[in-house]
């Protein structure tokens, strides 16, 4: 009996061993588990117009470096399940094995799809790009769907260690791509002119000798909800993105974490016109510049991202390189980044606006929060909160070399050896900033001709204003309770001060410097209402400023802005001194008297073509730039502008019931604008961001 049982078991085992199917050449039909494993003896092809369906539980084993080729208009469906996947593997997985040559779609049918498939040890190598790219999956001019697939231990001596997509479309969803490598670009995935979607995929532990350890994308594609972690490349340790005028990619709500670049862009290399929003870029490292993100040219939209805990030589959070193109970094949180050189949070070496960001707890040698080197055009650093940053040398909050307008920022609790709030080697206009409680002084000026208007520089540990150089004018500014000199003028400088609050006995004048005390200055306690440094009722700064003053030292007029540091309109009555314009209508006692329906909203915001504005019916709606110049007066539909009127050139549209549309024309540049609605004594203001 025992001998019979042993014999029966041998028959069963041998029967299992014989349950295989040998395949080569053209294949089609259905491969099911009854014929598994399918042993591939040579390259196999789903011929033009044919269909191959692979069912759950099937193993496809390649005996050599052979490929599965899906020809024009052919269909491949490999549809596993969560409990019974389909596997594509080589017979030899040893260190020196050539692996198999992947699945290759060439003008294939749009019906091709793979789900719950495992593809391992695929290797693309050869003398042509067709042979050397796409270790596991290569797609050209085809639409392919992949979902819930695992691609691991694959490689290419070209680009796309795991997946290569060119002139392709489709959806890649909830796939894991891990331990893949390429000698070119895109250790995990490479895309070029891809018009599909990659969503909720994990790209981890991939490597590229070129760009994009996890992902390289050029000109197109939508990427959302992916986790790109622990990858490595020369440039763009996590991802490298290249946009172009013929197609831009969209990257939204991805996590790019713990990646490494040996050259630049620890997390991201961003090049060209792409939309980059709502992403988290964290814990990335580079030996070069741009710990979180390295940019050349600018994203079409770069907003609402979290950039934190990254490390680099320059630009711990973001490094921006390009002296010609524009763009804006808008409404991001940039925190806890480190740079050994310049720009712990942002190092901007090109022409770019930095608007409405929170920049905090970053560290660098110079420019703990921001360093900026602008050569050609004046750019704006505006409406940011810059706090708790540190520079071991100059510019705890920001270090500016030249050509910048610094407007309506709150700069507090930063530290530096010099210029803890702002170090400026050539700022054009410093206006409506609150520079308070910094350790190492408030403002440190070394360049020529800055315009200093309506700032509040208070309670800094060090000099309130340190200046060296020539020809400077200051109007409507508060300097108070700074531990050093309120004004420290050294090294042959010339400064004229009018309509400002400071202690005239707390000025140090060194060398051949000249400080001219003009009209309208006062020495008193400015009387702040709160820790946000709003003016209190009875403040001597109220109604004590000036709209304009002619400064002979710079042979020019300096005008006050028509908005304060929070976007409030100036003047309420007469011009105030300091960053805040006192307005009792914004006090708590006034709120119950304000009609509850009086409000202003704008969407989308930021916008790149037109913004929809909702305001109370009958309100006058106007658009201003940050210097208070009126850009447009918007009117509801059914009304017309008088010919030759103020707003003849921009296109103004409106709907009934308080609905308006502002669509700027070509003469209006990218930036932050203020929309103001007025009806009787009531006003409401809304900031909008226009990104061309």
Of the candidates 479, 428, 420, the one whose C-alpha atom is nearest the C-alpha of residue 455 is: 479
Question: What distance lies between CA 449 and its chain's CA centroid?
Answer: 32
pLDDT band at 326 (very low <50, low <70, confident <90, very high): low
Rounded mean pLDDT of 265-275? 90
Q: Is the pLDDT of residue 419 over 60?
A: yes
Of the candidates 671, 583, 553, the one whose C-alpha atom is nearest the C-alpha of residue 623 is: 671
pTM for the whole thing?
0.83
- The reported pLDDT for the residue numbered 691 is 64
Q: What is the pLDDT of residues 53-97, one digit of tens each?
A: 999 999 999 999 999 999 999 999 999 999 999 999 999 988 888
Domain assignments of the chain as residue spans, ordered by start: 428-593, 599-690
DSSP letter assigned to residue 122: B
Q: Could you tell me which CATH class the domain 599-690 is placed in?
A: mainly beta
Alpha carbons 585 and 605: distance in angstroms, whole number: 27
Alpha carbons 457 and 439: distance in angstroms, whole number: 13
Q: What count of residues does the chain have?
A: 692
Residue 4 has φ and ψ, to the nearest 5°, of -70, -40
pLDDT band at 12 (very low <50, low <70, confident <90, very high): very low
Ramachandran sector of residue 300 (left: φ over 0; alpha: ψ -120 to 50; beta: rest): alpha
Ramachandran sector of residue 612 (left: φ over 0; alpha: ψ -120 to 50; beta: rest): beta
User: What does the mean pLDDT of the chain come to?
Assistant: 86
Q: pLDDT higher for 373 or 40? A: 40
The H or E element containing residue 15 is helix 2-18
Q: pLDDT higher for 669 or 120? A: 120
Q: Is the pLDDT of residue 378 over 50?
A: yes
- Name the token pair of 577: 């001194």
Of the candidates 398, 392, 336, the one whose C-alpha atom is nearest the C-alpha of residue 364 is: 392
**What is the dihedral sign for C-alpha 141, 142, 147, 150?**
negative
Q: What is the pLDDT of residues 438-480, one digit of tens each?
A: 999 999 988 766 789 999 999 999 999 998 875 678 999 999 9
Q: What is the pLDDT of residues 561-601, one digit of tens each?
A: 888 998 888 998 899 999 999 986 543 323 233 333 456 77
- The reported pLDDT for the residue numbered 5 is 32
Name the maximum alpha-carbon separation found in the chain.
Answer: 118
Q: What is the pLDDT of residues 210-257, one digit of tens each?
A: 999 999 999 889 999 999 999 999 999 999 998 765 556 899 999 999
Percent of the chain with pLDDT over 70: 86
129-138, 164-173, 177-186, 543-552: segment of lowest average pLDDT:
543-552
Integer CA distances (angstroms), 125 to 155, 194, 480, 488, 540, in order: 8, 23, 70, 67, 77
Q: pLDDT higher for 266 or 623? A: 266
Residue 608 has φ and ψ, to the nearest 5°, of -125, 5
Sole residue written with tokens 């009127």: 645
């Amino acid at each position: 009996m025992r001998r019979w049982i042993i014999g029966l078991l041998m028959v069963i085992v041998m029967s299992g061993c014989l349950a295989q199917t040998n395949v080569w050449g053209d294949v089609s039909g259905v491969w099911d588990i009854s014929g598994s494993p399918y042993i591939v003896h040579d390259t196999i092809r789903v011929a033009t117009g044919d269909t191959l369906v692979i069912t759950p539980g099937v193993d496809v084993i390649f005996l050599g470096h052979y490929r599965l080729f899906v020809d024009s208009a052919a269909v491949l469906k490999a549809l596993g399940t969560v409990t019974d996947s389909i596997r594509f593997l080589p017979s030899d997985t040893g260190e020196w094995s050539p692996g198999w040559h992947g699945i290759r779609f060439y003008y294939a049918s749009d019906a091709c799809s793979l789900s719950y498939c495992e593809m391992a040890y695929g290797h693309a190598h050869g003398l042509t790009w067709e042979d050397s790219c796409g270790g596991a999956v290569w797609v050209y001019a085809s639409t392919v769907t992949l979902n819930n697939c695992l691609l691991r231990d694959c490689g290419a001596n070209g680009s796309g260690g795991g997946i290569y997509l060119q002139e392709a479309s489709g959806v890649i969803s909830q796939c894991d791509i891990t331990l893949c490598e390429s000698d070119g670009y895109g250790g995990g995935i490479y895309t070029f002119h891809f018009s599909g979607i990659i969503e909720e995929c994990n790209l981890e532990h991939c490597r590229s000798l070129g760009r994009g350890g996890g992902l390289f994308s050029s000109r197109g594609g939508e990427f959302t909800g992916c986790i790109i972690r622990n990858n490595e490349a020369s440039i763009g340790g996590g991802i490298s993105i290249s946009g172009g005028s013929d197609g831009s990619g969209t990257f939204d709500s991805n996590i790019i974490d713990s990646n490494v670049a040996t050259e630049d862009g620890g997390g991201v290399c961003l090049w060209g016109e792409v939309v980059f929003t709502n992403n988290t870029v964290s814990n990335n490292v580079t030996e070069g510049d741009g710990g979180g993100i390295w940019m050349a040219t600018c994203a079409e939209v770069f907003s609402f991202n979290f950039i934190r805990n990254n490390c680099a030589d320059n630009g711990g959070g973001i490094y921006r390189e390009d002296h010609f193109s524009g763009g804006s970094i808008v409404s991001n949180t940039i925190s806890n980044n480190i740079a050994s050189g310049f720009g712990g949070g942002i190092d901007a070496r090109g022409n770019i606006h930095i608007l409405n960001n929170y920049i905090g707890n970053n560290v660098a040698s110079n420019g703990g929060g921001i360093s900026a080197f602008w050569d050609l055009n004046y750019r704006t650093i505006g409406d940011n909160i810059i706090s708790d940053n540190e520079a071991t040398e100059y510019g705890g909050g920001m270090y500016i070399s030249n050509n910048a307008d610094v407007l309506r920022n709150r700069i507090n609790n930063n530290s530096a050896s010099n210029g803890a709030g702002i170090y400026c080697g050539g700022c054009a206009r410093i206006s409506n900033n609150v520079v308070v409680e910094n350790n190492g002084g408030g403002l440190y000026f070394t360049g020529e001709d800055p315009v200093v208007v309506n700032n509040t520089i208070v309670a800094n540990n060090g000099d309130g204003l340190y200046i060296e150089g020539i020809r400077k004018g200051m109007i409507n500014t508060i300097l108070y309770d700074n531990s050093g000199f309120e004004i420290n003028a050294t090294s042959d400088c010339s400064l004229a001060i009018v309509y400002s609050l400071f202690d005239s006995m707390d000025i140090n004048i060194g060398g051949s410097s000249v400080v001219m005390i003009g009209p309208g200055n006062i020495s008193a306690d400015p009387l702040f209402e709160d820790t946000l440094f709003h003016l209190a009722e009875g403040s001597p700064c109220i109604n004590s400023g000036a709209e304009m003053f002619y400064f002979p030292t710079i042979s020019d007029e300096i005008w006050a802005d028509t908005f304060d540091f929070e976007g409030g309109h100036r003047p309420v009555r007469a011009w105030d001194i300091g960053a805040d314009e006192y307005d009792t209508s914004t006090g708590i006692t006034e709120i119950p008297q304000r009609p509850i329906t009086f409000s202003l909203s704008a969407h989308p915001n930021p916008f790149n073509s037109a913004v929809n504005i909702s305001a109370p019916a009958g309100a006058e709606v106007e658009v201003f730039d940050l210097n208070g110049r009126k850009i447009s007066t918007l009117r509801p539909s059914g009304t017309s502008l008088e010919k030759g009127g103020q707003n003849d050139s921009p296109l103004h549209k409106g709907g009934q019931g308080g609905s308006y549309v502002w669509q700027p024309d070509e003469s209006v540049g990218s930036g932050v604008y203020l929309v103001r609605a007025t009806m009787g004594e009531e006003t409401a203001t809304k900031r909008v961001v226009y990104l061309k």
